[in-house]
Copies of this chain bind each other. A is one copy, B any other.
Amino acid sequence: MMLLGRGLDARDNQTRQIQDAVSNVEKHFGELCQIFAGYVRKTARLRDKADLLVNEIYAYAATETPNLKVGLKNFADEFSRLQDYRQAEVDRLEAKVVEPLKCYGTIVKLKRDDLKATLTAKHREAKQLSQLEKTRQRNPSDLHIIYQAENELHRATLETTRTTRHLEETIDNFEKKKIKDIKNIFSEFITIEMLFHGKALEIYTAAYQNIQNIDENEDLEVFRSSLYPPDYQSRLDIVRANSKSPLQRTGSSKSSLRTVQISHRMLRKDEEEEDEEDEDEVEEDEEDESGATKEVR
């Protein structure tokens, strides 16, 4: 650290700059990779919830009156189709955004190897230079040893030259590829997202009609007639015919039917037990309900 203060010159700045550039890519591509992977994961979790929603809508639709049943089923079909596109979105983002960023783990490792080779060569060269100067000082007349040391230095210099040239080429390609990849990765991200959003608009347009087409009144009639079935009514007619004071059938036919039903009930006795059973059920259900309400809140 203290060495930084000594005024490194340009070539050391250069090495440091290359190191910094590689470290910066390592750091930020690593971060981007992780966050994009998280984004993809959350998209997959959203699809999971949507799949649950599809299943629940099917389950609910199956219990409903005809129009609601068909409308909800059709909506669930469309919504399920949208989840297939969301799955495609997830797969594409994984392949075209996360994977290319992940590759930079290996790419950066190779650049670090190149950097290390250059630094090792420089280190060896400096050692040989120091060796040569020592030799010259200690054995100024031994030309053979000096020649050998010069030879060693020459070889070390060639190795430094080779590794440095390789590093420079590689770092230029690295930078070129990096800018190109960033442009590609973000373009792919946007394209993949747009494809999904476009499909979503298309599918929801169809799904909206399915919901709008649900005929509320028709379903309400079905519900009413299921509560007051014809055979029940015909039996009521018999009761009514036998009744001394036939109950007036005014405004709400249901209400007056219900009154007849009660008079009818008074003729039977053994149903007391059934009512008790009903009450038990009500209590049980109420417990269930309070549980469900808690979960909902």
Q: Which residue from chain B places its CB closest to the CB of A126 in the assembled complex? A: B272
Q: Is A176 in the interface zone, CB < 8 Å from B?
A: yes
Minimum distance in angstroms from A93 CB to a CB of chain B: 12
Q: Determine the chain B residues whose CB is within 8 A of the CB of A232 once the complex forms.
A: 9-11, 13-14
Knowing A39-B50, A50-B39, A258-B168 touch, does A282 contact B115 (C-beta < 8 A)? yes
Chain copies in the assembled complex: 2
Minimum distance in angstroms from A62 CB to a CB of chain B: 10
User: Which one, B14, B38, B252, B279, contacts A168 given CB within 8 A?
Assistant: B252
Residues of A within 8 A of B (CB): 3, 8-19, 21, 23-24, 26-28, 30-39, 42-43, 45-46, 48-50, 52-53, 56-57, 59-60, 63, 65, 68, 71-72, 75, 101-102, 105, 108-109, 112, 115-116, 119-120, 122-123, 125-127, 129-130, 133, 153, 157, 160-161, 164-165, 168-169, 171-172, 175-176, 179-180, 182-183, 186-187, 190-191, 193-194, 197-198, 200-201, 204-205, 207-208, 211-212, 214, 216, 219-220, 223-224, 226-229, 231-232, 235, 252, 254-255, 258-259, 261-266, 269, 271-279, 281-282, 285-286, 288-289, 292-293, 295-297
Docked-complex contact B182 and A68, CB < 8 angstroms = yes
Docked-complex contact A297 and B190, CB < 8 angstroms = no
Q: Determine the chain B residues whose CB is within 8 A of the CB of A38 once the complex forms.
A: 49, 52
15 example contacts (A-B, Cβ-Cβ < 8 A) are as follows A3-B273, A9-B232, A13-B229, A13-B232, A26-B288, A32-B53, A32-B57, A32-B60, A35-B49, A39-B49, A39-B53, A72-B182, A120-B279, A123-B272, A168-B254
Docked-complex contact B226 and A285, CB < 8 angstroms = no
Q: Determine the chain B residues whose CB is within 8 A of the CB of A193 once the complex forms.
A: 200, 204
Q: Determine the chain B residues whose CB is within 8 A of the CB of A190 once the complex forms.
A: 204, 207-208, 211
